[in-house]
Structure 1
Amino acid sequence: MQEYTVEIAKLQNKDYHYTWSGNRAFFEFFEESLVQNGNFEVKMKLRKSDALLQLDFDIQGNLELVCDRSLDIFSYPFQTQGKQVLQFSDHNEVLDDEFELIAKGTPQINVAQYIYELIMLAVPMKKLHPRYQEKSNEGDIKLVYSSEEKELKKETEEKNAEIDPRWAELKKLLENKKS
């Protein structure tokens, strides 16, 4: 994964642009990857300042996925974008998915892990071969239950129903009080 290494010690405080491409060898490097094959192109803009590095990724390509329904292999086109901020500090620490601290004087960074994570986020939860997509979309029609008609019917029935004589007497008392 040396080709995804950026020498940051020599960089001045300005914007830099990098491009990489990847294929099966990239995915084989990561054990237990959801994706075994694919190809992609990465465009990365690196903005360097005295305090931090900001990495903006734009990745597009095709992944070879296994259909959850038929186990057929199919090509899945994707495009994703992401950001990573690396702030200079006295130690290395990952603070969250998009922000981490790196030691001052770090000579280089390898962006392969960031690229891999962004690609994995682009993989759909439900991997369906394109021939099943139309059928799946038909099945995704959601029925919204509305009880409005039932409620109106229930109110009408209650009005028409015979009232218990004890409640009728109480109702008369309430109506007399209002008048």
Structure 2
Amino acid sequence: MEVDSKYSIYFWGLADGQHHFSFQVSKGFLANFDKTEINDLEIKIDAIMEKTPRHLGFTFHIQGIVNLQCDRCLDFFDFELNFENNLHVSFGEETSDITNIDDRMILSRKEDKIDLAKHFYDYINLQIPLQKIHPDDEKGYSTCNTEMLENIEKHMGHENPLKEVDPRWDKLKNLYN
């Protein structure tokens, strides 16, 4: 996928050794991908590339904020990201991701650049928790929208747990005894 050259590194003319790059990822970046749970984001990615004749090694330090919708109260909140990821690139006959091995890919010897946009997208989305809930405050209390939570509670159909059970089920329970 060709997203934008600002997320590509042209390595062909670079000397062997260590090189530093910096990338900014914002909301416009998300328009290039199909689905995401991210409403907005502002992320800085610092990349260190170690180049050798046969290999490119990347270390990405990814730091910033993504805006997510709370699963509990449906309000949006900022979720902070601060993590590192690695990518190892070997040169081969044709370009391919090695799907059974994380963070490895083969890049064709004919290529003069590597597009990192899809990797950035994957790294960021993999840091989003399965359950997206407002963080607690410093006292340990929920910061969810209390008005919305009260409204949800009011409209939920709670069944009475003390409701009498059908006597046929009681007879079936006796089979276990």
TM > 0.5 between the two? Answer: yes
Q: Percent identity?
A: 22
* Aligned pair partner of 1:117 in 122, 130, 135: 122
Q: Does 1:130 align with 2:135?
A: yes
* Aligned pair partner of 2:45 in 42, 46, 51: 42
Give the equivalent residue in structure 1 for 2:28.
25
Q: CA RMSD in A?
A: 1.7
Runs ≥4 residues deviating over 2 A: 130-136
Give the equivalent residue in structure 2 for 1:54.
57
Report deviation, 1:113.
1.1
Distance 1:112 1:78 in 2: 17
* Aligned pair partner of 1:79 in 68, 73, 82: 82
Report deviation, 1:97.
2.5
Is the partner of 2:62 in helix, strand or coil?
A: strand
1:114-155: CA deviations, max 9, x gaps? Answer: 11111111111111012589357xxxxxxxxxxxxxxxxxxx
* Aligned pair partner of 1:103 in 78, 103, 108: 108
Give the equivalent residue in structure 1 for 2:7.
4
Is the partner of 1:29 in helix, strand or coil?
A: coil
Is the partner of 2:73 in helix, strand or coil?
A: coil
TM-score if structure 1 supplies the norm length? 0.71
Is the partner of 2:31 in helix, strand or coil?
A: helix
1:47-93: CA deviations, max 9, x gaps? Answer: 10011100110000001000000110001111111001110111222
Is the partner of 1:119 in helix, strand or coil?
A: helix
Distance 1:118 1:58, change over 3 A: same
Report deviation, 1:28.
2.1
Q: CA contact under 8 A between 1:81 and 1:118: conserved in structure 2?
A: no
Give the equivalent residue in structure 1 for 2:17.
14
Gaps of 5+ in 1: 137-179
Greater fraction of residues in helix = 1
Distance 2:122 2:103 in 1: 11
Q: How many residues align?
A: 136
Distance 2:29 2:72 in 1: 27
